[in-house]
Amino acid sequence: MSEPATIAVVLAVHDGAETIVEALDSALSQDPPPDAVIVADDGSTDRLEQALEPYRDRIVVLRLQHRGVAAARNEACRHACSEFVLFLDADDLLLPGKLEALTRLARAEPAFDVLGTDLWFERDGRRVGRFSDANPFPAPEDQRRTILERCFVAQATLRRSSLLALGGFDEELRSGSDWDAVLRLVLAGSTAGFEKTPLAVYRIRQGSLTSARSDTFRDRARIMEKALADPNLRPEERSAAKRMLGTQRARAALGDAQAAVATDRPDARLRCAELALTSGCSPRDRFWGLAVAASPRALRPWLSRRAGATSQLSRRVPGGSS
């Protein structure tokens, strides 16, 4: 039998003093324990240092300039010595048995470079669904195509050497760098393993990074642009990436238009006209954009309520609405 895999837990955090204690407790109480718990402080200005004080002898703290979550994770990954690294957000939780399940996966199939478990979505303290409800884990032969359509591993645990060999997380991405990292690993030949038991909690918070929806969709479009530059994409994979690129560009344009109309910005008509001309936009959203662009300003709030265009200003999660 092979030796159990070593796993470090990395928390990249910017101003997370109010939530990081629960996240740390959930990581430090795992059995088996993590190889290390590394907090990458991404230039926090809140009381994070005081929150971390009781844990000083049990964690490693990296004090960094504020450069974003991807840069903070890269620094922590380079600092770690473990075989795998689990990337945990400072407002999320690991449930008992998480690291045990991951080490079992790694031991059962040493070729896995990506490990994950199912998790619970939580909103306002209430569990509202499982990640796998909307993101079923694909068979190994379908992982290359599926990763171009969606990230099928949340709270990913990645083989450190494989991630570093590909250059780590893309620091130019403000969001979605975790999807981009898994995508690059899978397209480079890595395979992922999955435990179907939900062993973590992903908390949906208003005002979180992912609620800046238009910017998020633009980052997703950038991820697809990078994927399409890969000369080794198979024809069906290239088609999937092109479809996803069009979808993300259309969602970004819709979010821009809705935000402009909702706040009565001077550029609302222009943003709606751009929406109507965006490739990949649905007929309903295209019609809405044309109607708002052509209407008098006084009618825009009424059209915005009546059109029924799917809002991109908030995140869709199980049990919630967009």
Q: Which amino acid is at 273?
A: A
Structural domains of the chain in order of their starting residue, each with its CATH number:
7-208 (3.90.550.10), 213-307 (no CATH)
pLDDT above 90 for 160: yes
Residue 57 DSSP one-character state: T
Q: Residue 258: its pLDDT value, please? A: 85
DSSP state of 110: T
Task: Give the span between the Cα atoms of 286 and 6, in whole angstroms.
Answer: 51
Q: How far apart are CA 204 and CA 227, in angstroms?
A: 28
Of 117, 193, 184, the closest CA to residue 147 belongs to: 184
pLDDT at residue 308 in the model: 43
CA atoms within 13 A on the CB side of 108: 11
| Triad 36, 37, 38: Cα angle to 5° | 110
Beta carbons of 155 and 77 less than 8 angstroms apart: no
Question: Residue 319 pLDDT more than 80?
Answer: no
295-310 mean pLDDT = 61
Q: Which residues pair with 62 in a beta bridge?
A: 40
Q: How confident is the model at residue 211, as a pLDDT?
A: 39
In which residue are the tokens 């981009």 written? 180
Our CA dihedral for 211, 212, 214, 217, rounded to 10 degrees, sits at -70
Task: Say if residues 140 and 130 touch (Cβ distance below 8 Å).
Answer: no
Residue 313 has pLDDT above 80, yes or no: no
Over residues 93-121, the pLDDT tens digits come to: 999 999 999 999 999 999 999 999 999 99
Structure tokens at 152: 């099928």
What value does the mean pLDDT of the chain take? 90
Residue 93: its H or E element:
strand 93-94
What is the per-residue pLDDT for 276? 92
Half-sphere exposure of 154 (CA within 13 A, CB side): 23
Range with the largest mean pLDDT of 1-10, 122-131, 163-172:
163-172
- Averaged pLDDT, 169-196: 97
Q: Which two tokens stand for residue 240?
A: 């999937």
* Average pLDDT of the segment spanning 237-251: 95
> Can you say whether the dihedral through the CA atoms of 208, 214, 215, 220 is positive or negative?
positive
Interval 200-206 mean pLDDT: 85
Closest CA to 47 of 10, 21, 73, 66: 21
In what helix (H) or strand (E) does residue 193 lie, and over which residues does it extend? strand 191-204
Q: Do residues 170 and 180 make contact, with C-beta atoms less than 8 angstroms apart?
A: yes
What one-letter code names the amino acid at 221?
Answer: A
- Which DSSP string corresponds to 216-231? HHHHHHHHHHHHHT-T
Which residues is 7 bridged to in the sheet? 84
CB 201, CB 223: distance < 8 Å: no
CA contacts within 13 A on the Cβ side of 16 = 25
pLDDT, position 242: 96
Token match 């990640």: residue?
Answer: 131
Q: Which has the closest alpha carbon to 19: 59, 58, 55, 47?
A: 47
Helix (H, G, I), strand (E, B) or coil at 319: coil
Q: Quick one: 207 exposed, middle or buried, by C-beta within 10 A (0-12, 13-18, 19+)?
A: exposed
